[in-house]
Amino acid sequence: MSVKLGERVQIGGIVAKNNVFCAPLAGYTDFAFRKLCYSFGAGLCFTEMVSAKGLLYDNEATKLLLYKDKSEEETAAQLFGSDPAVLRAACESELLRDFPIVDLNMGCPVPKVFKNGEGSALLLNFPLAEKIVSACKASGKKITVKFRIGVERGKVFAAEFAKLCEGAGADLITVHGRTRDMYYAGEPDYAQIAAAKRAVKIPVIANGGIFTREDARRMLDETGADGVMVARAAMYDPHVFAEILGGGAEWDKAAAIRGQIADMLPVYGEKFTLVQMRKMTAFYIHGVRGCAQYRNRLFGCESLKELDALLCEIFGTGAGGEDSACLSVDSRRDS
C-alpha cells in the first residue's frame, strides 16, 4: 500500500514535515524562492547545486548561493564534485554549518558537468560514487543522494545504484526516473524507481514529471516511494505544493513577487534582484492573458519601480506604495 501525500519523512534523525519536496533548481532555488515554497507547504527544499571546490575557495558567489533565511530549518545544501576528500571538506566547512543535510548531485546531465566526471557521470563510476558518499557521511552530516536511473536509455541500473548509496551510508535517496540522455523530457520510468525502492530500506523520493496532485499520487502508487520531489512545476507555480497536499486558496502572485523582492534586496542588491525577479515573474505569469507581450515588456524593465508598475498592470493590483518592496532600495547591497 502506497504512502499518503503529506506524510512525514525520516532523514537520519531529522524529520521532514511532509513528503512533498522542492528540487534543487540551478538559478532558481535561492532563499527567497525557498521561503515562498515553504509558505505553500513544501516539506523540504534544497539550495541550487554548489561546487564543492568553489565552496572551499571561499568564493563570494558561492557564499550567496548558500545564503539561508532564519526561518529555514532543515533546508538541505546540494553539492556537486568528484573528489571525495574535497566533498568531505566542503561538508565540514563553516559555510555549511547551518545545513544539517547535504545532498550529493549524481544526476546533473549538463555537458560541462558530465565531462568533468561530476553529476550523472558518477553513475558510470560506482567505486568513486561509493567513496564520495562514504566520505561525506564521515563528516557527520545527514547525507542524501539525487541520481538518475542511468546514463543511456536501455542501460538502467537504479536498484544497483540505490544499494550502493545505502551501503555507503546515505540516509535518503532521490531517484529521477529518466536517464541522462533524456534530460527533462519523456515519461519517467516508474518501474526503475520502484526497483530502487524495493532494493533499499532507507527512504526513497521519486522525481520526474510531477506537475499536479494526480501526477504525485500516481508516482507514489506506481513506485511505492516514500515521497515526491517537484522540480519545473514549482518554477511556474510554487503554489503547486499546496495543491499537491490538497489545500490552499489561489495565491496572490503580485504579493508573492513583491515579497521575494523584499527578501532579496538586502542580500543581493537591486541589480541582481531585478534580473532574478524578471526571470521568475516570466514563469509566474504563464497562462495570464497576454503573457507573451508582458514577458517582452518584463525583460525591458530597467528598475524595480518599472517592474512594480508592470505588476500593477498585469494583475490589476494597486502599486506597492510606501510598503512596496521595490521602493525600499536604500538598504540594498549591490555586488
**Residue 304 φ then ψ, to 5°:** -70, -30
Dig out the grid coordinates for 284 from the structure. 509566474
Nearest Cα neighbor of 34 from 68, 6, 10 is: 68
C-alpha–C-alpha distance, residues 192 and 235, integer Å: 26
Question: What φ, ψ does residue 76 adopt, rounded to 5°?
Answer: -100, 145
Summary count for the chain: helices (H), strands (E): 14, 12
175 phi, psi to nearest 5 deg: -110, 115
Active-site residue identified among 45, 108, 136, 301 = 108
CA nearest 104: which of 126, 74, 137, 72?
Answer: 137
Cα 278 to Cα 24, 270, 294, distances in angstroms: 20, 12, 11
**What is the spatial distance between Cα 19 and Cα 31, in angstroms, rounded to a whole number?**
20
108 classed as catalytic: yes
* Rounded Cα gap, residues 318 and 50, in angstroms: 38
**Alpha carbon distance 37, 280 (integer Å):** 13
**C-alpha cell recorded at residue 328:** 525600499
How far apart CA 23 and CA 48 sit, in angstroms, is 8
DSSP 8-state symbol, 290: T
Rounded Cα gap, residues 243 and 100, in angstroms = 28
Residues known to be catalytic: 108
